[in-house]
Amino acid sequence: MPKGTTKRRPQTLARLLDAALEVFAESGFGAARIEEVCRRAGYTRGAFYSNFSSKEELFFALFDAHAARELERIGRLAARTDDRDLSVARIAALLAHVEPDERTWYLVTTEFTLYAIRDPRAAVRLAAHDARLREEAAALLGALLARAGLRARGDLAELVRVVVALREGALGQSYVEPDVLAPGALAGQFLPFLLDAVTEPADDPG
């Protein structure tokens, strides 16, 4: 990890992460070279290794940054929504929304997932990051449901798994057939049915 902190470090990290996102998306994680990341960022290998110990660590920094942005986006939009308007349909729309630049991240994370499936050590690290993201996403989803007067019938973290599976599976189909299926459209159509099926009024004694 980083050896000390300087005023320039945030800028260095941001440029390395931006460059890595480009290179990983273009070349795939396995074929991506640290030298190319450094070249695009405008830094030497020394600058890279002052901030990251490996290409994997660089990916996980991207993963955590992307996860934080997504959670912040959902939370920000939810905060602007009046409780009276926070229905299952509205929550589903928040979860299904896809930013225009999401295709790049989809390429990067899909490539790394395949890499991790082949490498048990990388799979363990990816699973740990996924678990932390699910924990935060489950807390956010639980809060949204509570504001809507609802609660999940099952485990929230497992529900998040299903939401992610639906969203990412649908995105893959959209990116293969962009003229047929807009990103977010399939998830937006079916997530309301999923959430409606697995939630109940919070005041229901069960």
3-state secondary structure 35-65: HHHHHHHCCCHHHHHHHCCCHHHHHHHHHHH
Answer yes or no: are the C-beta atoms of 23 and 32 closer than 8 Å.
yes
User: Whose CA is closest to 131, among 103, 107, 161?
Assistant: 161
Q: Show the tokens assigned to 21.
A: 């996102």
User: Whose CA is closest to 94, among 132, 141, 52, 47?
Assistant: 141
Give the predicted TM-score (pTM) of the model: 0.89
For 82-98, the pLDDT digits (tens) are: 988 899 999 999 999 99
Give 8's pLDDT tier (boundaries 50, 70, 90).
Answer: confident
In this structure, what are the phi and psi dihedrals at residue 184, rounded to the nearest 5 degrees? 90, -15
Q: Where are the beta strands (DSSP E) in the chain?
A: 150-152, 199-201
Please report, for the chain, the start and end positions of each structural domain, with discontinuous segments joined by +.
Answer: 1-53, 55-201
Fold of 55-201: Tetracycline Repressor; domain 2 (1.10.357)
Q: What is the CATH number of domain 1-53?
A: 1.10.10.60
What pLDDT is recorded for position 91?
Answer: 95
Angle between helix axes 156-176 and 88-96 (nearest 10 degrees) is 50
In whole angstroms, what is the distance from residue 155 CA to residue 73 CA? 23
In this structure, what are the phi and psi dihedrals at residue 200, rounded to the nearest 5 degrees? -150, 160
For 79-137, the pLDDT digits (tens) are: 999 988 899 999 999 999 999 999 999 999 999 999 999 999 999 999 999 999 999 99
Count the alpha carbons within 13 Å of 71 in the hemisphere toward its beta carbon: 18
In whole angstroms, what is the distance from residue 100 CA to residue 83 CA? 28
